[in-house]
């Protein structure tokens, strides 16, 4: 995918809001979804893959046990897609990745981890409108019918009733694809983060390789580490903070802890390899 290093706020704004004009609508509507990461090398690694080993064989077991022990009233419909969304939302290892319609929410997650201010961050921009045309016909049909580019759990259920059925269809047709679907509004956090999930046709699909072979689908902005504090302070001024994105006392506490941390102390912590991981601010949506 096309990669650009960003070293100023002005460059960042130009890159994030590029190609927004939609002549058909006569409006500025971005065709991109955004994913922000505090460390550029960890851009597209789903949490399921981080389990290691033959992680793809563990997916159904992880999801089955999550459904078994979670409260049934927590999802609007008892199917894999709603349970996957709920699990991803609460840190369950899944093949899903978190994205957002908001470039500033993505910037928040690229700069929330103060302990990574000694490293470059990144924003990945995926052109979800173009990617729609690479989906199998069974997924394109409900999108075309509804005039949409992003699936929902209900539309996914029309194509496949379960992960097992989806994997079987993908294997039968030898298809590799990545779709986006909007999770149900389970709580204010999903709503405030303007959240969207990506899902691959196969849990073993390497998204970095998949996107690199399809450069028209995505671009990557490397956020120079020296720019992070400026971005962070400007986001705070714009009220794009943990207090808003993680409603409740936990988000408020995380925002205050970071807001009152001095840049000098943060720099020392970022360069202290022995600093306890438990003291770090949680960096990502997933």
Q: Dump pLDDT digits (tens) for 130-170.
A: 999 999 999 999 999 988 999 999 999 999 999 999 999 98
Q: Is residue 162 assigned to a domain?
A: yes
pLDDT band at residue 74 using 50, 70 and 90 as cut-offs:
confident
The H helix count followed by the E strand count for the chain is: 14, 10
What is the reported pLDDT for 82? 92
Average pLDDT of the chain is 89
- Note whether residue 286 is domain-resident: no
> Model confidence at 213, in pLDDT bands (50, 70, 90)?
very high
Measured CA to CA in angstroms, residue 177 lies from 37, 160, 214, 282 at distances of 23, 15, 11, 30
- Give residue 168's domain range: 2-279
Q: What residues have CB less than 8 Å from 162, skipping those under 6 apart?
A: 79, 80
Residue 140 CB neighbour total at 10 angstroms: 15
Structural domains of the chain, count:
1
Per-residue pLDDT band at 274 (split at 50, 70, 90): very low
Residue 132 covered by a domain: yes
What's the CA angle centered on 230, arms 229 and 235, to 5 degrees?
A: 95
Q: Residue 256 falls within a domain, yes or no?
A: yes
pLDDT computed for residue 268 by the predictor? 56
Reported confidence tier of residue 282, pLDDT bands at 50, 70, 90:
very low
**Beta carbons within 10 angstroms of residue 257's beta carbon:** 13
Domain membership flag for residue 285:
no
Q: Is residue 284 part of a domain?
A: no
Dihedral of alpha carbons 147, 132, 151, 145, sign: positive
Is the residue at 58 inside a domain? Answer: yes
Tell me if residue 197 falls in helix, strand or coil. Answer: strand
Q: Quick check: 153 and 85 in contact, CB under 8 A?
A: yes
73 belongs to a structural domain: yes
């Amino acid at each position: 995918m096309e990669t650009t290093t960003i070293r100023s706020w002005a460059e960042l704004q130009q890159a994030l809001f590029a190609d927004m004009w939609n002549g058909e609508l006569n409006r500025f509507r971005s065709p991109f979804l955004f994913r922000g990461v505090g460390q550029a090398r960890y851009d597209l690694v789903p949490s399921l893959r981080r389990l290691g080993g033959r992680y793809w064989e563990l997916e159904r077991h992880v999801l089955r046990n999550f459904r078994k022990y979670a409260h049934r009233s927590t999802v609007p419909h008892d199917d894999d897609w709603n349970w996957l969304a709920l699990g991803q939302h609460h840190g369950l290892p899944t093949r899903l990745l978190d994205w957002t319609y908001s470039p500033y929410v993505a910037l928040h997650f690229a700069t929330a981890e103060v302990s990574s201010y000694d490293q470059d961050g990144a924003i990945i921009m995926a052109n979800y409108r173009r990617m729609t045309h690479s989906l199998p016909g069974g997924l394109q049909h409900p999108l075309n019918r509804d005039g949409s580019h992003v699936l929902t759990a209900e539309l996914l259920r029309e194509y496949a009733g379960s992960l097992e059925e989806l994997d079987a269809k993908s294997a039968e047709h030898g298809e590799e694809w990545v779709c986006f679907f909007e999770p149900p509004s389970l709580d204010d956090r999903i709503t405030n983060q303007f959240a969207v999930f990506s899902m691959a046709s196969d849990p073993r699909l390497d998204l970095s390789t998949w996107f690199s072979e399809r450069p028209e689908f995505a671009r990557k902005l490397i956020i120079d580490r020296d720019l992070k504090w400026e971005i962070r302070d400007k986001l705070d001024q714009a009220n794009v903070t943990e207090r808003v994105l993680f409603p409740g006392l936990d988000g408020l506490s995380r925002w205050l802890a970071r807001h009152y941390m001095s840049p000098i102390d943060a720099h020392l912590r970022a360069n202290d390899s022995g600093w306890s991981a438990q003291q770090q601010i949680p960096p990502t949506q997933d």
